[in-house]
């Protein structure tokens, strides 16, 4: 009994002497867990540093590509502006020139204008004018049934006789009102889009009705070529139109500007 008692006494004395120090000693499992956690954080930091470096490189490459794209866009805008000026000059010239169509074709187009009240034909210049009400609903570039029939008859006339080899420039125009409805803006964000999209629709329908695509061209001038001041609903209705100009077989509707677009 003396030995166990003595051992117990020594143990108790040791605890009393070293208890404070023992409280400051971290148990090994806790210490090891802290080490592993620190290593994991270090690895994460290294991985994040690598990802940041890769992202910075990607960002620099994206900036470079964006600069190239912006330069190409500037070139395209410049080319479009020059092509629009070219077409404006061409249209002004056509307005002041004589009708390139023969007498029979002009007569047939005059008869067509008598059949459709919203279609006009100028026998002096050969310019055909389609008021938008016969071709399109408000804010739309989808041709209405009456417009489909009119364009079918127009294409038939332009495929016969002396008109069969002439080129055709389709030009869309709008009034001065901004695109109001959200549903319309999703398809035609601006009047530029609406005028060109309408011209494209007419071109595609003329092509569908037998006119060779090599004879066709399309342009849009938004609100910027009104026939009358946009002072009321009646005048705006007159300004919403599609005009068709007839050109000689060797006329260049875009000329060298199209080559410039292909290069860019």
Helix 256-263 / helix 28-95 crossing angle, nearest 10 deg: 170
Predicted pLDDT of residue 106: 94
Q: Which of 20-24, 92-96, 129-133 has the lowest mean pLDDT?
A: 20-24
- As a whole number, mean pLDDT of residues 219-244 equals 94
Closest CA to 247 of 216, 224, 210: 216
Give the integer Cα–Cα distance in Å for 36 and 248. 84
How does pLDDT run across 98-111, given as a tens digit for each residue?
A: 788 999 999 999 99
Residue 126 backbone zone (phi > 0: left; psi -120 to 50: alpha; other: beta): left
Q: What percent of the chain stands above pLDDT 90? A: 49
- DSSP assignment, residue 213? G
Q: What percent of the chain stands above pLDDT 70? A: 74
How does pLDDT run across 74-95, given as a tens digit for each residue?
A: 655 555 555 555 555 666 665 5
Q: How confident is the model at residue 222 (pLDDT cuts 50, 70, 90)?
A: very high
Query: Please, where are the H alpha helices in the chain?
Result: 2-23, 28-95, 103-115, 132-135, 145-158, 182-187, 191-208, 233-239, 256-263
Query: Are the C-beta atoms of residues 160 and 152 closer than 8 Å to each other?
Result: no
- Residue 226: in which H helix or E strand, if any? none
Predicted pLDDT of residue 100: 85
Summary mean pLDDT of the chain: 80
- As a whole number, mean pLDDT of residues 213-221 equals 94
Predicted pLDDT of residue 79: 53
- As a whole number, mean pLDDT of residues 30-35 equals 74
Angstrom distances, CA of residue 250 to CA of 33, 84, 107, 246: 85, 19, 24, 12
The answer on pLDDT for 259 being more than 70 is no
Contacts of 242 (CB under 8 A, 6+ apart): 129, 130, 132, 135, 170, 171, 172, 173, 198, 199, 202
């Amino acid at each position: 009994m003396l030995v166990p008692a003595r051992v117990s006494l020594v143990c108790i004395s040791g605890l009393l002497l070293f208890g404070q120090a023992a409280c400051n000693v971290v148990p090994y499992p806790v210490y090891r867990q802290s080490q592993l956690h620190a290593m994991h954080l270090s690895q994460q930091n290294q991985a994040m540093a690598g990802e940041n470096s890769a992202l910075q490189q990607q960002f620099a490459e994206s900036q470079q590509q964006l600069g190239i794209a912006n330069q190409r866009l500037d070139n395209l805008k410049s080319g479009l502006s020059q092509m629009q000026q070219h077409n404006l000059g061409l249209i002004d010239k056509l307005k002041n020139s004589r009708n390139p169509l023969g007498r029979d074709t002009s007569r047939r187009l005059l008869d067509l204008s008598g059949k459709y009240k919203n279609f006009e034909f100028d026998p002096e210049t050969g310019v055909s004018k389609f008021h938008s009400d016969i071709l399109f609903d408000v804010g739309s570039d989808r041709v209405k049934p009456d417009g489909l029939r009119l364009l079918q008859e127009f294409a038939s006339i332009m495929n016969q006789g002396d008109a069969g080899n002439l080129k055709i420039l389709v030009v869309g125009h709008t009034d001065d009102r901004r695109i109001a409805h959200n549903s319309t803006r999703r398809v035609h964000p601006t009047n530029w889009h609406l005028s060109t999209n309408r011209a494209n629709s007419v071109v595609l329908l003329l092509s569908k009705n037998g006119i060779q695509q090599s004879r066709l061209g399309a342009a849009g001038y938004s609100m910027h070529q009104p026939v009358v001041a946009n002072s009321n609903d009646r005048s705006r209705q007159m300004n919403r139109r599609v005009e068709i100009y007839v050109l000689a077989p060797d006329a260049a509707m875009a000329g060298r500007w199209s080559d410039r677009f292909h290069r860019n």
